[in-house]
A and B are shown apart, each in its own frame.
Chain A
Amino acid sequence: MGKITKEFIIQNELGFHARPAALFVKTANSFQSKILVKKGKEEVDGKSIINLLTLAAAKGEKITVTAKGKDADAAIGDLKKILSEIFKG
């Protein structure tokens, strides 16, 4: 059981709004690992679109993504890719 944590700074104008959140959630759901997203003290389920939308991560804010489980490595890898694509615009 692996556990990997990685920090990201939200860089795109609209932050974690609907479509980036959708992309993130879709990717997260393709893995068995538990995916958690933390902003400040609040930590939510990265596989839940509703949770991610209510987390409301805006431009410039820091989020911490944690993956726990067998495929944690791969999950973080893919999520990192997704996030950098989102941040490209």
Chain B
Amino acid sequence: MLKLEGIGVSSGIAMGKIFLLKDLISSIPSYSIKKSQIPGEIKRLKKALAKTEKEIKKIQGKVRGEFKKEARIFDVHLLIVKDKRMFEKVVQRLKKKRVNVESAFAFVAQEFISGFAQINVDYLRERRIDIEDVAKRILHNLLGLQRKSLSRLQEKRVIIAHNLSPSETASMSKDKVIAFATDMGGKTSHTAIMARALEIPAVVGLKEITSKVQNEDFIIIDGNRGLVIINPDQETLESYKEKEEHLFVVKKDLSILKDLPCQTKDGRRIKLRTNIELPQEIDHLSSYGAEGIGLYRTEFFYLNRKDLPSEEEQYHFYRKAAEKVNPYPVIIRTLDIGGDKFASSLQISSELNPFLGWRAIRFCLARPDIFKAQLRAILRASPFGNLKIMYPMISGIEELRKANNLLREAKTELKSEGKEFNDNLDIGMMIETPSAAMTADILAKEANFFSIGTNDLIQYSIAVDRVNEKTAYLYEPAHPAILRLIRNTIKASHQEKIWVEMCGEMASEPSFALLLLGLEIDALSMTPFAIPRIKKLIRQVNFQEAKEFAKTVLSLETGKEVMDYSNAFYQKKELFDEKNG
């Protein structure tokens, strides 16, 4: 049994067999084996080789039809798979060093590959790519499953990785993934957001979990405490099974709340909406009592594909969302690519400072072809429900105006084509840069609503990388600078009679709900499963006392003071926070 501590970023408890996602060759797990395990390891190697042979033959068969000459290289690949020298060397090392077969194989393959470096004839040296190619295939098969096969998991698994990328999570078969645990990451890393969207527990920032586990290990993920337990003993296992049961009961209680209004005891109502990462998530929204979609992300259209999504394809999805959620609003955020989300079709080159670089609205304004296709699709879907458009990453009024100009062009085009759309649909923007928050009074004159994106707002304001574990401690939503920016944004918007929601992670934290209520936020948008908790809390308090609470909090000097004061207040008022439950 081994316990590792990280950051719990999505609550809940899950247990099961792991699925290890690995970067190949350099990061092959290495562990010692008993003498009695040697025959088993050899058998695994044979199996992997046989499987690889089959795969290559299949590819060769496909290629043969079209490219006769190219197909011949696979003869070489097949011979590499069947190479007895390689096999013997691996077995020898396996026996001598008593290590697992992957590690023995990776060592031997590396030795062969580096042997090529000494060849002084170019075209002969280049043959190393054939060895590499085949070695990778064999390793994939040895490790049981491969990155690509995340979409084809056969049974429920806990995914363990160094870091999960958006394209990886996007290709996962959602019903088979029961939890995440990663070496890297913080509270707002992509892994964390995805885990909350999928309502599965996750622990990140574990530093070295990928080197501590092997495929088939059994693991407990405790998202509440930020703990993972590898191969637990019977006693630990039992106690966690009990906890899992208990959490299930709590969840059931909360679901009773779904049909009750989100209203304080003295009658202040605020709207609770959901953030959507993938279109499939719309299907279970009603079970949480959400009043619409406060953030409909559109990146999934662009990730994991080589071509661009057509206007028609997008229209279909937007229309479906509009119809399904009507009469509640669906706030569609236009493409927010860049930063840590990349699409192969968009060819955004890697930048030194991607979060400060060519992303989101900056990219869209530079590529009106892509942007307009999306705007046209949203406009065309607008008659079918209550759609709103929201621009990401606006840093000043010029960007808002430029985006609106393109929107006008799109409308003119549609008119001339005789296509219908709702001419009055609301146009809003994200407040996620400090510059936007500080000029909210200017922006509010030309937008219909704001949505405060706290994840980026925090990292840009405090100048802290939200993924870097060394600086993660600086990432403080309760930092007075952040609270002031939020207060100013809400004030400025209300002065111009526009409404403002919050769609960042902060909106889903019960510990901030009272404060945001007191700052007079109009709506909160969050991952669906957080809704009942927030609603329960709002229903327990008075708007008046929340306003006073907020006033005091805004006078405090550090984030820690804010949290301490807040915790004490929650305890005194017996406001629940089952984060540690």
Residues of A at the B interface (CB closer than 8 Å) are 14-19, 21-22, 25-26, 45, 47-51, 53-54, 56, 58
Among B72, B115, B124, the most chain A Cβ lie within 10 Å of the Cβ of: B124
Q: Which of B78-86, B145-153, B173-181 is found at the contact surface with chain A? A: B78-86
B121 and A48 contact, CB distance less than 8 A: no
Q: Which of B79, B119, B121, B125 contacts A49 (CB 8 A)?
A: B79
**Residues of chain B within 8 A of A56, CB atoms compared:** 119, 121, 124-125
A19 and B75 contact, CB distance less than 8 A: yes
A16 and B80 contact, CB distance less than 8 A: no
| Interface mask (B83-107 → A, CB under 8 Å = 1, otherwise 0) | 1111000000000000000000000
Among A16, A47, A48, the most chain B Cβ lie within 10 Å of the Cβ of: A48
Known: A48-B84, A53-B131, A54-B119. 15 other contacts (CB 8 A): A14-B123, A17-B123, A18-B73, A19-B76, A21-B76, A48-B85, A49-B83, A50-B80, A53-B127, A54-B115, A54-B116, A56-B119, A56-B121, A58-B121, A58-B124
Q: Judge if B112 is at the interface, Cβ distance under 8 Å.
A: yes
Among A14, A16, A49, the most chain B Cβ lie within 10 Å of the Cβ of: A49
A50 and B76 contact, CB distance less than 8 A: no
| Nearest CB of A to B73, in Å | 6
Q: Which residue of A lies closest to B75 (CB)?
A: A22
B83 and A50 contact, CB distance less than 8 A: yes
**Residues of chain B within 8 A of A54, CB atoms compared:** 112, 115-116, 119
B80 and A18 contact, CB distance less than 8 A: no
B84 and A18 contact, CB distance less than 8 A: no
| Nearest CB of A to B1, in Å | 42
A-B contact pairs, 7 of them (CB 8 A): A18-B76, A25-B79, A48-B84, A49-B80, A50-B83, A50-B131, A56-B124
Q: Which residue of A lies closest to B74 (CB)?
A: A22
Q: How far is B73's CA from A50's CA once the two chains are assembled, in angstroms?
A: 14
A22 and B76 contact, CB distance less than 8 A: yes
Q: How far is B112's CA from A50's CA once the two chains are assembled, in angstroms?
A: 8
**Residues of chain B within 8 A of A16, CB atoms compared:** 124
| Nearest CB of B to A73, in Å | 23
Q: Which of B315-358 contact A (CB under 8 A)?
A: none
Q: Judge if B522 is at the interface, Cβ distance under 8 Å.
A: no
**Residues of chain A within 8 A of B130, CB atoms compared:** 18, 53
Q: Which residue of A lies closest to B127 (CB)?
A: A53
**Residues of chain A within 8 A of B116, CB atoms compared:** 53-54
> Interface SS of chain B: helix, strand, loop or mixed?
helix
Q: How far is B558's CA from A79's CA once the two chains are assembled, in angstroms?
A: 81
**Residues of chain A within 8 A of B80, CB atoms compared:** 49-50
**Residues of chain A within 8 A of B85, CB atoms compared:** 45, 47-48, 50-51
A49 and B124 contact, CB distance less than 8 A: no
Q: How far is B169's CA from A27's CA once the two chains are assembled, in angstroms?
A: 47
Q: How far is B127's CA from A15's CA once the two chains are assembled, in angstroms?
A: 12
Q: How far is B127's CA from A48's CA once the two chains are assembled, in angstroms?
A: 14
Q: How far is B124's CA from A26's CA once the two chains are assembled, in angstroms?
A: 19
Q: How far is B112's CA from A53's CA once the two chains are assembled, in angstroms?
A: 10
| Interface mask (B119-153 → A, CB under 8 Å = 1, otherwise 0) | 10101110100110000000000000000000000
**Residues of chain B within 8 A of A18, CB atoms compared:** 73, 76, 127, 130
**Residues of chain A within 8 A of B123, CB atoms compared:** 14, 17
A17 and B72 contact, CB distance less than 8 A: no
| Nearest CB of B to A6, in Å | 22
Given contacts A22-B75, A56-B119, contact A50 B124 (CB under 8 A): no
Q: How far is B130's CA from A51's CA once the two chains are assembled, in angstroms?
A: 13
| Nearest CB of A to B76, in Å | 5
Q: Which residue of A lies closest to B130 (CB)?
A: A18
Q: How far is B84's CA from A22's CA once the two chains are assembled, in angstroms?
A: 14
**Residues of chain B within 8 A of A58, CB atoms compared:** 121, 124
| Nearest CB of A to B241, in Å | 50
B121 and A15 contact, CB distance less than 8 A: yes
| Nearest CB of B to A74, in Å | 20
Q: How far is B79's CA from A49's CA once the two chains are assembled, in angstroms?
A: 6
Among B76, B112, B115, the most chain A Cβ lie within 10 Å of the Cβ of: B76
Among B72, B79, B84, B123, the most chain A Cβ lie within 10 Å of the Cβ of: B79
Q: How far is B79's CA from A58's CA once the two chains are assembled, in angstroms?
A: 21
Q: How far is B131's CA from A21's CA once the two chains are assembled, in angstroms?
A: 14
**Residues of chain B within 8 A of A47, CB atoms compared:** 84-85
**Residues of chain A within 8 A of B75, CB atoms compared:** 19, 22, 26
B115 and A49 contact, CB distance less than 8 A: no
A53 and B86 contact, CB distance less than 8 A: no
**Residues of chain A within 8 A of B127, CB atoms compared:** 17-18, 53
**Residues of chain B within 8 A of A17, CB atoms compared:** 123-124, 127
Q: Which of B86, B119, B121, B125 contacts A50 (CB 8 A)?
A: B86
Given contacts A48-B85, A49-B79, A50-B86, contact A19 B72 (CB under 8 A): yes
Q: How far is B79's CA from A48's CA once the two chains are assembled, in angstroms?
A: 8
Q: How far is B131's CA from A38's CA once the two chains are assembled, in angstroms?
A: 21
A53 and B84 contact, CB distance less than 8 A: no
Q: How far is B130's CA from A22's CA once the two chains are assembled, in angstroms?
A: 12
| Nearest CB of B to A64, in Å | 19
Closest 3 CB pairs of A and B: A48-B85, A49-B79, A56-B119
Q: How far is B123's CA from A58's CA once the two chains are assembled, in angstroms?
A: 10
Q: How far is B89's CA from A51's CA once the two chains are assembled, in angstroms?
A: 12
**Residues of chain A within 8 A of B72, CB atoms compared:** 19, 22
**Residues of chain B within 8 A of A45, CB atoms compared:** 84-85
| Nearest CB of B to A45, in Å | 5
Q: How far is B308's CA from A52's CA once the two chains are assembled, in angstroms?
A: 46
**Residues of chain A within 8 A of B131, CB atoms compared:** 50, 53
Q: Which residue of A lies closest to B78 (CB)?
A: A22
Q: Which of B76, B83, B124 contacts A48 (CB 8 A)?
A: B83
Among A21, A45, A50, A58, the most chain B Cβ lie within 10 Å of the Cβ of: A50
Q: How far is B125's CA from A74's CA once the two chains are assembled, in angstroms?
A: 32
Q: Which residue of B lies closest to A21 (CB)?
A: B76
**Residues of chain A within 8 A of B119, CB atoms compared:** 54, 56
| Nearest CB of B to A66, in Å | 16
| Nearest CB of B to A86, in Å | 13
| Nearest CB of A to B77, in Å | 9
